[in-house]
Amino acid sequence: MKEEKTIRYEDINKKSEPPIVYVIQEIPGTKEGRPKINILGASEYGKFKFLLPELSQIIFSPGPLIFKLRKSLKDFTTEDYLLLTGDPAIIGVACSIVSDITNGKYNLLKWDKQERKYYSIAIDLYEKGKIDE
């Protein structure tokens, strides 16, 4: 018996799109036109999408900010990247949301001070392997 293959249009459409670099927060100084750090090197990994303004913080009620992040990250795929900028608490929430969407598999961009460039780090939270003690 011949096995029938089906291809979803969404899968074809997604593959043709370049990856997106999700920048968690705008870089401090962006509003004044003088960002404190230059992230242009990360653009080699994909097109930038900024999620939150530079002054965003989680204070007493994280709900609205989590909702906004979840909405902004809803189309995140395992081919995309997270650029970890801004408030560490917001970075933690963004990584949690992305992990939830991708079942623990996602890419980060890390700045290497010595080489002065970004490197991709593939995260797989559920990778099976030996854990060194």
Tell me the HSE value of 16 on the side-chain side, using a 13 A CA sphere.
5
* Domain-embedded: residue 129: no
Q: Name the domain count of the chain.
A: 1
* Domain-embedded: residue 92: yes
For residue 48, give the 3-state DSSP assignment.
Answer: strand
pLDDT band for position 61 (cuts 50, 70, 90): confident
pLDDT score, position 9: 60
Give which of 118, 101, 102 is closest to 48, Cα–Cα.
Answer: 118
* Domain-embedded: residue 133: no
For residue 88, give the 3-state DSSP assignment.
Answer: helix
* Domain-embedded: residue 69: yes
Q: What is the pLDDT of residues 113-129, one digit of tens each?
A: 898 899 999 999 988 77
Pair of tokens at residue 56: 């965003």
pLDDT score, position 93: 96
pLDDT score, position 4: 65
Pair of tokens at residue 54: 């530079």
* Domain-embedded: residue 3: no
* Domain-embedded: residue 7: no
Alpha-carbon distance values, 121 to 13, 16, 33, 39 (Å)? 25, 22, 30, 16
pLDDT band for position 96 (cuts 50, 70, 90): very high
- Domain containing 53 equals 25-124
* Domain-embedded: residue 74: yes
* Domain-embedded: residue 8: no
